Chain A
Amino acid sequence: MMSGRRDVREIIREEPIHRREIQTALTDGGKTVPELAALLGYSSEELVYWVMGMRKYGFLTELPDVTEDGYYRYQVGPRGAI
């Protein structure tokens, strides 16, 4: 039934259930996708879908500077904490 990557529809459908934990993980400062992945135990790829979905609807926003590794950090967005 399942091989390799999960279906995009399935990943995106689950974004709402991860909003709170992603925002909670950002309470002590902005984090990159790989940092969130390491902290929460999800794959970076799936976190990109969730982070970008949350960003689109105001739950997250990016910090302006890119890290030395080439990543942006994200913080709780204008919609505020859930």
Chain B
Amino acid sequence: MEYDTLVIGSGISGMESAIKLGDMGYRVLLVEKEASIGGKMILLSKVFPTLDCASCISTPKMAAAIHHPNVTALTYAEVEKIRKLDGRFQVEVVKHPRFVDEAACTGCQQCETACTVSVPDQFNSDLVARHAAYIPFPQAVPKKAVLERAGTSPCTETCPAGVKAHGYVSLARSGEYEKAFQLVLQSTPLVGTLGRACFAPCESECSRGSLEGPVSIRRIKRYIADDHYDAHRRLQALPEITHTERVAIVGSGPAGLTAAWQLARKGYPVTIFEAEDQAGGALWTIPAYRLPSAVIGQDLDNLRQIGVSIRTNTPVHRIEDLFDQGFSAIVLAVGTTSPVQLLVAGAHASHVDNALHFLKAVKTGVGTRLEGMTVAVVGGGNVAIDSARSALRLGARVVRLISLESREAMPAFSWEVEEAEQEGVFVLNGWGVESIGESELHLMGCDATLDREGRFDPQYDRTRVQSVPADRVIVAAGMRPATEAWQSTLTLAGGGRIAVESESQATSWPGVFAAGDAVSGPTSIAEAAGAGKKAAEAVEAWLSASAFSPGPMRLPRVSQEEVLARQSQYALRPPRGGNKALVLHPHDFTEVEPALTESEVRDNSGRCLDCGVCSECQECVAACPADAIHLDAREERFETTVDSVIIATGFKLFAADRKPLYGFGRFKNVITGMQMDRLLAPTRPYHTVLRPGDGKVPESIAYIMCTGSRDQTVGNPLCSKICCMYSNKQNQLIMGALPLADVTVYDIDMRTTGKGYEEFYVQTRAMGTTFIKGRIAEIVEKDNGNLVVRYEDIDHGGQILEQEHDLVVLAVGVQPNHDVERFFEPGVLEFDDYAYVNEADEILSPGQTNVPGVYVAGTAAGAKDIPESILHAGSAVAQASAYIEGRRLPV
């Protein structure tokens, strides 16, 4: 689609330009970066000097612009680049995703009401919250919701299980613990398990970690799991069986359970085959001090509640048997259940056990006591740590952990090693086992464990030896899948791992998929769960004969720098919640990590920085009656060609904190003129005019004029033209809203240069506003929030006086909008000395820039009030039209 004119910005000048050009028959592309057209005018209370309602006179313009047959209005879109090409203009536009289907959205605001993330409302000058899902303001055109999404939050992006960590934290922050539980269930049934035994990569990536420490994301999950299970809640909305194809899952560790869970929720009849006498796989090797058995049982019950059949003591030796039984697809998730044996003398002695057997026996209550024994655990990974700490709890007098690796290179998490040492485990690094005697281990030095390519290849130093006593030896030297039975029917990779196509998880046998540690080797619960989820998606695609796509693509991760830059400062709030109860030589398997209290959960979740802004909690999706939320929407880019361009990007308000003398940002009852306009508007942030410091109805209000205008100290010698009149307007409105309030204006002079303006000013005075010609020397905030204004009273001899007010309003001025500078290559479009778009002949050809075909309308060229902006837009329109017609005339 080609257009005659591009209009950038949809404030009053942009709308006027677009409508007028459209009326003249030109095709117009109107691009607005906000989610609604209307600019600043629609946010005003009333307009001077007529005191017409700003909404009432803006909304017809907005409707005319959006519905004009010749105007294509793009909201939530930006012009990226403009290049002049053969006398025309090539324009690059990016349309930001609303994540809402504009055609389906009815503007009902139910998504906004349900949203769990609160941010400052820029359309109310940050005086009140809005939600991440929002409609800009009540008169928005189009009245369609938008989800503010800066990207994927690091915690969510990094979760191997695909759990929306930010989502459940934001739900917990709102006290919606059951909804938070249900959100985790969307990824995996292992909510309680992951709440305790996950290694929490989410916390490692938490942006709060660079402040005073990460949000305790995992422990919040533990709380919401306990909250659900303690209340004996049953899962609702059990899925109906909607497919006839039966799916077999072989293995019931985290990968198998999650694959089964996902497929059952999608309506497939699922049967899990477990070789052992109880489901859970590797979960039963995690000691109870980290993961109580009851929690595993609760998580497993989730599957039973939705109808997953679990057949224990049922090993699968022949895959074809499952097809013979009528299963249409199979997921192999058998984990790594074969321990790697030490190839040293004495490895098969009766006092030598493998760690998996040992840990499972302990967990299921059949482990022997180790009172008074000296125990050696061989290995440097987390299983070795679990074994060593379990041995202590079984009464071992001395527990040594023999690690080939140096301390830094140990596969175990560093905190696990530290906790083991705090409990009394002795860690010996850089030692390998040379042989195992009846009551001792003979060790030899190990200088390195990996070769140059990173492959396991320990380099021993046999000149460095020692022996350590050992009544019992527990070997945790690695694990591999028990896949020998399938080696003739499936393609296996090294170490007995099942070979799969990396994206689809498909094995060499059509209809057979594999997931988890049986494919990747030993990983974590979260990683295995994620693999199970992915395998389920692949099975579903295979059964439905559709192309496999690995789940919805996430938005790019939000950078920590971007997140931290959103605030000028942070209040440090160290995470609350008891530390692990670590004692020397513990004697039982009581959980070492205390649960968070509800207060601690609220406090912790309140520390979340909402990195992605939208938390992906899915509440909007559930609330939307029109099914209009589309989180998979992405930005769209396109190019078009136009004959002319009108720049109507408006102005920026002066940032009042650049005048520290006036205390904006430091004193809670110092606000800007735009904030007061919002307080006076029908769609105001409060229910009336209140001061923001304590909600009091102000009785004495001061206006300080020329804030950021006519002020060389802030680099702006220009008069902003509108401040005097909008202050007069507000004064009159305040006297209507708060008849008892006193209003005092501190000004240099009053500039009332428009038709009826001087009369309006006189009327303001007559209504009771006090005007003091005086410069402000200082503002001091009192304990009660009142503000003492110290000023030079010019009309009374320049004496220095003080006056106390409830509220101070800074009549902030107009500044150029620098956004326009990036549209063209540097040097193409000229700007004046004050950084406004330069008008080549401001007097005779207002609106004409130095680039033929490019025009400027309204305050992008300098301060103007509304009537002037509309007039200026008319000039720009006329010139754009003349330019277009001139090009069309035969040469």
Contacts and interface: CB of A to CB of B under 8 A. Distances in A.
A48 B697 contact: no
A49 B117 CA distance: 14
A37 B784 CA distance: 13
A7 B696 contact: no
B666 interface: yes
Interface string B564-603: 0011111110000000000000000000000000000011
A32 to B, nearest CB: 7
Contacts of B568: 7
A21 to B, nearest CB: 9
B119 A52 contact: no
A56 B567 contact: no
Interface in B733-761: none
B695 interface: yes
B116 A16 contact: yes
Contact of A15 (B129, B690, B698): B129
Greatest chain B CB density within 10 A among A5, A16, A34 is at A16
Contact of B606 (A17, A58, A82): A17
A80 interface: no
Interface in B537-580: 566-572
A9 B129 CA distance: 9
Interface stretch (B120-128, B236-244, B316-324): B120-128
Contact of B694 (A4, A15, A33, A62): A33
B694 A2 contact: no
Contacts of A13: 117-119, 606, 608-610
Interface string A1-33: 111111111101111110110000000000011
Interface in B106-144: 112-113, 116-120, 126-131
Nearest to A32: B695
Given A1-B569, A19-B174, A49-B128, A14 B695 contact: no
A52 B128 contact: yes
A47 to B, nearest CB: 8
A15 B610 CA distance: 13
Contact of B129 (A34, A49, A58): A49
Interface residues of A, number: 41
A7 B567 contact: yes
Contacts of B572: 1-2
Contacts of A58: 113
Contact of A7 (B128, B569, B610, B668): B569
B129 A6 contact: no
B692 interface: yes
Contact of A52 (B170, B668, B685): B685
A36 to B, nearest CB: 9
A30 B238 CA distance: 43
A4 B570 contact: no
A66 B688 CA distance: 11
B687 A16 contact: no
Interface in A43-82: 44-45, 47-49, 51-53, 55-58, 62, 66, 69-72, 82
Contacts of B3: none
Given A1-B211, A17-B606, A69-B696, A8 B174 contact: no
Contacts of A19: 174-175
B690 to A, nearest CB: 8
A32 B668 CA distance: 18
B216 to A, nearest CB: 14
B175 A2 contact: no
A10 to B, nearest CB: 6
A31 B211 CA distance: 36
B665 interface: yes
A12 B129 contact: yes
B10 to A, nearest CB: 25
Given A49-B128, A52-B127, A12 B697 contact: no
Given A17-B602, A17-B606, A5 B665 contact: yes
- Determine which residue in B570, B668, B696 has the highest number of CB atoms from chain A within 10 A of its CB, and name it: B696
B41 to A, nearest CB: 23
A55 to B, nearest CB: 7
Interface in B666-702: 666, 668, 685-688, 690, 692-699
B569 A3 contact: yes
A14 B569 contact: no
Contact of B697 (A52, A66, A82): A66
Contact of A44 (B566, B693, B697, B699): B693
A68 to B, nearest CB: 11
B566 A9 contact: yes
A77 to B, nearest CB: 12
Nearest to B601: A17
Interface in B163-196: 170, 173-175
Nearest to B609: A13
Contact of B666 (A4, A37, A71): A4
Interface in B781-795: 785
B120 A52 contact: no
A23 to B, nearest CB: 11
A20 B692 contact: no
Nearest to B687: A62
Contacts of B685: 52, 56
A55 B570 contact: no
B796 to A, nearest CB: 30
Nearest to B566: A9
B172 to A, nearest CB: 9
A5 B668 contact: yes
B605 interface: yes
A1 B567 CA distance: 11
A56 B687 contact: no
Contacts of A4: 666
A82 B112 CA distance: 17
Given A4-B666, A82-B175, A48 B695 contact: yes
B118 A45 contact: no
Contacts of B608: 13
Given A5-B668, A19-B174, A55 B687 contact: yes
B224 to A, nearest CB: 15
A5 B666 contact: yes
A69 B697 CA distance: 9
Contacts of A56: 128-130, 685
Nearest to B806: A70
B693 A6 contact: no
A57 B696 contact: no
A44 B693 CA distance: 6
B687 A8 contact: no
Given A16-B173, A52-B127, A53-B118, A9 B695 contact: no
A-B pairs, top 7 by smallest CB distance, nearest first, are: A53-B129, A44-B694, A33-B695, A7-B567, A17-B606, A16-B174, A70-B697
Given A3-B569, A15-B129, A16-B173, 8 more contacts: A12-B128, A15-B118, A16-B174, A20-B175, A32-B695, A48-B690, A57-B131, A62-B687
Interface of A: 1-10, 12-17, 19-20, 32-34, 37, 44-45, 47-49, 51-53, 55-58, 62, 66, 69-72, 82
7 contacts: A17-B606, A19-B174, A47-B695, A49-B128, A52-B128, A56-B130, A71-B696
